Amino acid sequence: MTTKATAEALNTLREIAQFITTDQSTEHQIDALEKFIVLCQSAVEITPDVCFSAFSGDTELTQGIAINPAAAAQCVKDYIRTIKFVNAVHHAITQQHALHPGSTLKILYAGCGPFATLLLPLLALHCEKEISIHFLDIHEESLSSVQTLMQFFNFDQLRLHYHCDNACHFQAPDPFDIIVAETMQKALEQEPQFMVTAQLADQLKPTGIFIPEEIFVSLALQDRETLVFKNKSKPLLALSCQCPLFSKLNNAANQNSLRLPLTQFHIPELYNPVQQRFVLQTRIQVLNDIWLYEDESDITLTVPAFSLDNALPNQVWHAQYYYGSYPCIEFQHLSL
Ligand SMILES: C[S@@+](CC[C@H](N)C(=O)[O-])C[C@H]1O[C@@H](n2cnc3c(N)ncnc32)[C@H](O)[C@@H]1O
């Protein structure tokens, strides 16, 4: 790659980052993300793909599924998610830099995927700062793609580290100012966000920022015909760095259950299973006032709580979180 081509690529990346972080039109921001994909593809051979096939190359970890590099690249196209997360990371960098002027900002990007989507465009805006970045992914192909992209944009002046590892076990020698980890699916099912957060929470400096800040999963009733929601519960699960459930992980692991108790609840007296169904709703506080609301993105889609299909009015049920190979919220009827 010639110096001129690098400078042009960097300019385009800077324009893309400016559109995402300052343009008020979602349409322009989406166009910018599409340009980002094309730009990345001019340097690496990865094509975003939903990859639903059983042979797609996902990695089944004991803490959940790590989606394959093409599917991880496809996450760019979960546009509203990407726009909000990139803006949150932008604010986090600006905030942390102002808080510690003159010192090197330490960022961990866990589950970076092949395009390091939530951080890479922003490097065009922040590359003059002293930044040390640790890229972490379970897939070697994703990491080598990120490494190629860093060279392509000539970000060699940044301190870059690459770790092909499971974030659920990863331990760095020093804490971070910013940790970014989006390894999740709706209702905190399937992917290992819970255990990734549990492992990384202690590796954040006390003044540091974890993105996303908090993830809330709640139960609601949905009218089967009108699709209107009602009776939304307090969150069954609120996942952040300070999640009190983390202190119970050792106990659950010792009992070999891999299940954490969440809450008990009554089925409403007026619940009518023919007209209504229980659903799980997800809302994410990405950072401060940047929220990703229910059904705004793939990772906050509402899902039916099928195991409550047999519930009857006034029964008492129990919710727990299973954090094994297919994480999810489970429900059990408590016969009193
Ligand atoms: C949903 S994709 C997100 C990709 C990109 N960060 C984005 O937000 O567009 C999740 C990424 O995290 C990686 N991943 C999931 N679980 C992981 C784990 N336990 N350790 C390391 N990487 C993991 C997957 O390989 C995948 O690249």
| Residues 333, 321: Cα–Cα separation, whole Å | 15
The phi, psi pair for 276, rounded to 5°, reads -130, 160
Per-residue pLDDT tens digits for 275-293: 999 999 999 999 999 999 9
The phi, psi pair for 131, rounded to 5°, reads -130, 135
Q: Which residues line ligand 1 (CB under 6 A)?
A: 61, 66-67, 72, 75-76, 111-113, 117-118, 136-139, 142, 166-168, 182-183, 191-192, 196
Whether 248 and 234 have beta carbons less than 8 Å apart is answered as: no
| Residues 37, 175: Cα–Cα separation, whole Å | 32
Task: Please report, as a single letter, which amino acid is at residue 162.
Answer: Y
Place of tokens 């990703």: 292
Tokens encoding 323? 């954090």
| Residues 277, 136: Cα–Cα separation, whole Å | 39
Whether 124 and 17 have beta carbons less than 8 Å apart is answered as: yes
- Secondary structure of residue 154 in the 3-state scheme: coil
C-alpha closest to that of 282 among 229, 333, 324: 229
The CATH number assigned to the domain holding 298 equals: 3.40.50.150
One DSSP character per residue, 53-68 reads STTS--EEETTEEE--
- Structural domain of 145: 3-334
| Residues 330, 103: Cα–Cα separation, whole Å | 45
Strands 131-137 and 204-211: unpaired
Q: Which atom of ligand 1 is nearest to the CA of 112?
A: 6
Residue nearest to atom 10 of ligand 1 (CA): 183
Low-confidence stretches of the chain (pLDDT < 50) are 2
> What pLDDT score does 251 carry?
86
| Residues 313, 134: Cα–Cα separation, whole Å | 51
Tokens encoding 128? 């003059």
Residue nearest to atom 15 of ligand 1 (CA): 66
| Residues 183, 72: Cα–Cα separation, whole Å | 9
| Residues 175, 86: Cα–Cα separation, whole Å | 22
Count structural domains, the chain.
1
Burial call 269-300: b when 16+ CB within 10 Å, e when fewer: eebeeeebbbbbbbbbbbbeebbbebebbebb
Is cis: bond before 212, omega within 30 of 0?
Answer: yes
Ligand 1 pocket mutation pick from 137, 162, 191, 211 by most atoms within 8 angstroms of CB: 137
Tokens encoding 29? 């921001």
| Residues 1, 174: Cα–Cα separation, whole Å | 35
Cα separations (Å) of 73 from 104, 115, 116, 152, 249? 29, 6, 9, 17, 32
Q: Which atom of ligand 1 is nearest to the CA of 168?
A: 19
